[in-house]
């Protein structure tokens, strides 16, 4: 069974630009989660999508947004990039809302 996939693996942007990150969940999983792992800060919850709807968002500014498509894949958009947005962005999916979340390999975003 294929795991969660993410693209691109690495992304380099300059301050003020926009970044788009993509995620495909495990087949059969309808919930997709986004987390940010910045150096020294641990994993921070960003967004949760289920059945095409945003269900919850973490304590991040509105320039972090996303969506979930009918095939349950998801996109994370970060507008007006700032230097501190440099981090590993992890996507996860789950079969059940209260069940374990399975992570993809991540996208490493570098903002110069």
Partner 1 sequence: QKEVEQNSGPLSVPEGAIASLNCTYSDRGSQSFFWYRQYSGKSPELIMSIYSNGDKEDGRFTAQLNKASQYVSLLIRDSQPSDSATYLCAVSEGGSSNTGKLIFGQGTTLQVKP
Q: Are strands 10-13 and 87-94 parallel, antiparallel or unpaired?
A: unpaired
DSSP letter assigned to residue 83: G
Nearest distance, CB of residue 41 and partner 1, angstroms: 9
CB closer to partner 1, 27 vs 56: 56
Closest contact distance (angstroms) between CB of 71 and partner 1 is: 20
24/31 with CB nearer partner 1: 31
Pick the closer one to partner 1 by CB: 66 or 106: 106
Supply the minimum distance, in Å, between the C-beta of residue 99 and partner 1. Answer: 7
Judged on CB neighbours under 10 Å (0-12, 13-18, 19+), 102 is middle
Cα 101 from Cα 92, distance rounded (Å): 6
């Amino acid at each position: 069974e294929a795991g969660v996939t993410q693209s691109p693996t690495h992304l380099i942007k300059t301050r003020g630009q926009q970044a788009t990150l993509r995620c495909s969940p495990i087949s059969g999983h309808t919930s997709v989660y986004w987390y940010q792992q910045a150096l020294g800060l641990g994993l921070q919850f960003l967004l949760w999508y289920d059945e095409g709807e945003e269900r919850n968002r973490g304590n991040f500014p509105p320039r972090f947004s996303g969506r979930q498509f009918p095939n349950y894949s998801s996109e994370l958009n970060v507008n007006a990039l700032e230097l501190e947005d440099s981090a590993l962005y992890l996507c996860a999916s789950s079969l059940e809302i209260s069940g374990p979340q399975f992570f993809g390999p991540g996208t490493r975003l570098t903002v110069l």
